[in-house]
Amino acid sequence: MSVANRTSVTPEASGPFIERLRAALGAENVLTDAADRWVYGQDNSRRHVSPDCVAYATTRAQVQTAVRLCHQYDVPVVARGRGTGTSGGAVPLRGGLVLSLERMQGIVAIDPANRAMRVEPGVLNQTVQDEAGAHGFFWPPDPTSSAYCTVGGNIALNAAGPRALKYGATRENVLGLVAVTGAGDEIHTGSYTTKGVVGYDLTRLIIGSEGTLAIVTEATLKLTPLPESRRTLQAVYADVRAAAAAVARLMAQPVTPYALEFMDAAAIEMIRNYSQAELPRGAGALLMIEIDGPEAAMEAAVTGISAAARGEGLLSLAAATTREEAAALWATRKALSPALRNIAPNKLNEDVVVPVSRVPELIDGLEKLAREYGIPIVNFGHAGNGNIHVNLLYDTQDPQQERNALPCLSRVFDLVLQLGGTLSGEHGIGVAKRDYINRAIDPATLALMRAIKRQFDPKGILNPDKIFPPPGNG
């Protein structure tokens, strides 16, 4: 089962390893046929490397046994949820084993009195929202893929979404974890309480580590009460600078917006035919603003937010008066990524972050790069925290654009770092940004991160070749 030019399951190890894996997980849960393995070789990055073996785990004990076998036989292992990530983090670059956690869908316990829920890693984000909602709560992380992404994947990437602006990303909404290290040891991190200072904060370290430190087998989620009321507003501006100035005013208000979404002119034009919402023509930027809280406070909150949204460059300001109108506005935002993928299937989508005050400089710089390299660039994202999704819409059938795509992307990252930003806000590093990470992290810090990886994973079998550039590249 070995594959040329990569470290994989060696012919000598494959027989005993597969036999013991089948004995532990059940023969029906271990796939070795090429057709069965193929589908598990890719994620939403559209990169593909077929694994040598796929196994379904259904219990914590099975995950631990599988990892111990991988450690014993030096088999690379990639934990996988539903493969919705866009950075290539779930692609098994060295073949080996893909350990699917998609069947670990249990909600172990829900505890409304303590605002907590214990879940297995394969449960869908939407399932968590539905179960929590039945008790008057929600879990804040709300990525666009919430209907089909798993909590384990959310944890691996520190997933966020629009409401992270007020409620935080995954890292701020997990109390504790049960996980398996690369040596096959089960560890327990965090606590069941919202306060606790006992030892190092391994929970926050593992969250966002993309499966390179440990494989999560259970998570204790911190729930938040559902708001009594919500209001949605749409503000249209003549240009990005006017919108950015409005964002600064909005974020200075006593009422923090629940969500504050941004689209540039190119994004507005792109989405026009993919939504029920009426979008203005000739607009330079658009903000979608949502606030939540007690019904009795909504009128005053809307008044304050509306006043902050007004200023030089404002073209229009409208508030949704019905749920249907609000849903149409959000449909606009949620339809944008699929629309872009349909229009430009080979697009490069990067979720960079810059200080909010420097968003106009970012957009100006991106427009210059688009002209210089002849590649359309469409931008949208979470304006309140400067997390902008930069989409390079290049055509692989255009030789010049094909040659220019990666050099243009490299310049995008340089621009972001020059503005005091960072390379990823919620998609992770994976493979897509691995070779750029040494531009953002100094050598001493990167060396410490590698040392932490070795401590958790002595043989380097957990999701190898992710996050860190290959030897000699940083």
- State the fold for domain 11-100: 3.30.43
Domain range 229-418, CATH architecture:
3-Layer(aba) Sandwich (3.40)
pLDDT tens column, 259-272: 999 999 888 887 77
Q: Quote the longest CA-to-CA distance of the chain.
A: 71
* Domain(s) of CATH 3.30.465.10: residues in the chain: 107-225
Q: What is the pTM of this model?
A: 0.92
Q: Which helix (H) or strand (E) holds 287?
A: strand 285-293
Instruction: Decide if 160 contacts 143 (C-beta within 8 A).
Output: yes
CA distances from 395 to 229, 340, 378 (A): 44, 12, 14
- State the fold for domain 107-225: 3.30.465
DSSP assignment of 45-73: T--B---SEEEE--SHHHHHHHHHHHHHH
Q: Which helix (H) or strand (E) holds 109?
A: strand 107-111
Output the pLDDT for position 326: 82
Output the pLDDT for position 470: 80
pLDDT tens column, 307-356: 999 999 999 998 887 888 788 767 766 667 667 766 766 778 899 999 99
pLDDT tens column, 39-80: 999 999 889 999 999 999 999 999 999 999 999 999 999 999
Residue 360 scores a pLDDT above 80: yes
Q: CA 207 to CA 153: how far, in whole Å? A: 10
Q: CA 123 to CA 151: how far, in whole Å? A: 6
pLDDT tens column, 220-239: 999 999 999 999 999 999 99
Output the pLDDT for position 275: 60
Output the pLDDT for position 3: 34
What average pLDDT does range 84-88 have in this prediction?
Answer: 94
Output the pLDDT for position 267: 86
Q: CA 401 to CA 404: how far, in whole Å? A: 5
Output the pLDDT for position 6: 45
What average pLDDT does range 99-126 have in this prediction?
Answer: 98
Provide, rounded to the nearest whole percent, the portion of the chain with pLDDT above 70.
92
Residue 301 scores a pLDDT above 50: yes
Which residue would you say has higher pLDDT here, 357 or 122? 122
Output the pLDDT for position 336: 75
Instruction: Decide if 41 contacts 51 (C-beta within 8 A).
Output: yes
- The C-alpha R_g of the chain, in whole angstroms, comes to 23
* Domain(s) of CATH 3.30.43.10: residues in the chain: 11-100
